[in-house]
Structure 1
Amino acid sequence: MSRWEPNARGRLERAALELYSERGFEQTTVTEIAKRAGLTERTFFRHYADKREVLFAGSATLEELLVGALEGAPGSATPIAAVARALDAAAAAFEERRPHSQQRQKVISANAELRERELIKLASLSAALSAALRRRGVADPTASLAAEAGITVFKIGFERWIDESNQQSMSQIMRESFEQLKAVTAGN
């Protein structure tokens, strides 16, 4: 095996998703993932702490994208409008990864430990958005409420978007979900 492996992370991610889908998360080993990717276990551990992290490695990038978009919202934007802007940026980034997202979510949904890890990721995203809103001068509990509402919209919108019968873009779904949230909070 060569010492340098081009796109090792991508190969490991694809191999892991394939194996998790074929055999299940619990039944798949790091050795099998590395072998399927044509790499070594050592290479796997250079990129990921454990086999769960293959599914969650993009969390930091997603958080940076959300926070960056929120921070780029006009100063006059309401807290929820700034959060909506952040989710719109995330939706655009996800759009080309729909098949990957569908496959990843099936693996996560089939495993309680992974579902728990997904909830922790969502809580972390909410905390990051809340902190970004506070840096913009939004006081609590408004910052926390706007961030939590936004992450709820993201979660529900994401679930709708990966549904096989869905034909809408993630951006369309996020905008619709925000409109539905507004209707709910307006008492309609």
Structure 2
Amino acid sequence: MGRWEPNARGRLAEAALELYSERGFEQTTVAEIAGRAGLTERTYFRHYADKREVLFSNSELQDLLVAATEGAPAALAPIDVLAVGLDAVSEMFEDRRAHARKRQAVIAANAELQERELIKLASLSAALAGTLRRRGVPEPAAGLTAEAGIAVFKVGFERWLAESEERGMATVMRELLGELKAVAAGGHGHGA
């Protein structure tokens, strides 16, 4: 009996972000999100487990990071494999800065959402470490590289979202990766 709803998932995600931005996460109900998207609550729950998941359910980021690092040339050092992954992720976000800023503002305003974001980043790190291990990088190097990579991504993402930042994400990520390499080599970085 279910009707096909074109891009229901995307419509729900957009409606949720709009409402969370306008009213706040806590004050918004699933019924309101579904209504804004022109869909039913039942349709909402077919796509998302709860009110939070609509902000975090995108596995595209992890899939892209894993695929890019798996496909990096075999001769690359682990940190340079990381650069390949960050470049791929940066490309994915290139036209999404306004959306990402809005999403981050919603997350920053709610401790429960901040916690969920950290869990997602930990999951990203674990996936990256697994990819590095499959490439033959031993422990603890695989885990350290993955954690450092996620730290670069987190700090770089926050920088890229800053109102004053106009450079592309890839440029910001490469700069921070250079800073990490400098610090790891015993320097103090370049300061930015």
Q: What is the TM-score of this pair, normalised by structure 1?
A: 0.97
Indicate the residue corresponding to 2:90 in structure 1.
91
After the TM superposition, which residues 34-113 of structure 1 pair with which residues of structure 2 at under 5 Å, given as runs?
Answer: 34-58=34-58, 60-113=59-112
Indicate the residue corresponding to 1:166 in structure 2.
165
Instruction: List structure 1 runs of 4+ shifted beyond 3 angstroms.
Output: none
Letter in 2 for 1:52: R
How far the C-alpha of 1:3 sits from its partner, in A, is 2.6
How far the C-alpha of 1:84 sits from its partner, in A, is 1.2
Q: Is 1:30 equivalent to 2:30 in the alignment?
A: yes
How far the C-alpha of 1:14 sits from its partner, in A, is 1.0
Rounded to whole Å, the distance in 2 between the matches of 1:53 and 1:26 is: 14
Rounded to whole Å, the distance in 1 between the matches of 2:63 and 2:166 is: 28
How far the C-alpha of 1:119 sits from its partner, in A, is 0.3
Query: For 1:50, what is the secondary structure of its paired residue?
Result: coil
Is the helix fraction higher in 1 or 2?
A: 1
How far the C-alpha of 1:4 sits from its partner, in A, is 2.7
How far the C-alpha of 1:81 sits from its partner, in A, is 0.7
Letter in 1 for 2:72: A
Rounded to whole Å, the distance in 2 between the matches of 1:74 and 1:18 is: 41
Q: Is 1:143 equivalent to 2:135 in the alignment?
A: no
Structure 2: 5+ residue stretches without partners: 188-192
Query: For 1:76, what is the secondary structure of its paired residue?
Result: coil
Query: For 2:101, what is the secondary structure of its paired residue?
Result: helix
How far the C-alpha of 1:113 sits from its partner, in A, is 0.4
Rounded to whole Å, the distance in 1 between the matches of 2:14 and 2:129 is: 33
Rounded to whole Å, the distance in 1 between the matches of 2:14 and 2:131 is: 33
Count residues with an aligned counterpart: 186
Rounded to whole Å, the distance in 2 between the matches of 1:74 and 1:143 is: 16
Q: What is the TM-score of this pair, normalised by structure 2?
A: 0.95
Indicate the residue corresponding to 2:190 in structure 1.
none
Q: Is 1:179 equivalent to 2:166 in the alignment?
A: no
What are the Cα deviations for residues 5-39 of structure 1, in whole angstroms up to 9, with x where unaligned?
21111111111001101111011100000001111
What is the aligned-residue RMSD (CA, Å)?
Answer: 1.0
How far the C-alpha of 1:115 sits from its partner, in A, is 0.3
Rounded to whole Å, the distance in 2 between the matches of 1:64 and 1:5 is: 25
Identity in percent: 68
Letter in 1 for 2:182: A
Query: For 1:96, what is the secondary structure of its paired residue?
Result: coil
Indicate the residue corresponding to 1:7 in structure 2.
7
How far the C-alpha of 1:83 sits from its partner, in A, is 1.1
Indicate the residue corresponding to 2:19 in structure 1.
19
Rounded to whole Å, the distance in 2 between the matches of 1:118 and 1:37 is: 24
How far the C-alpha of 1:185 sits from its partner, in A, is 1.1
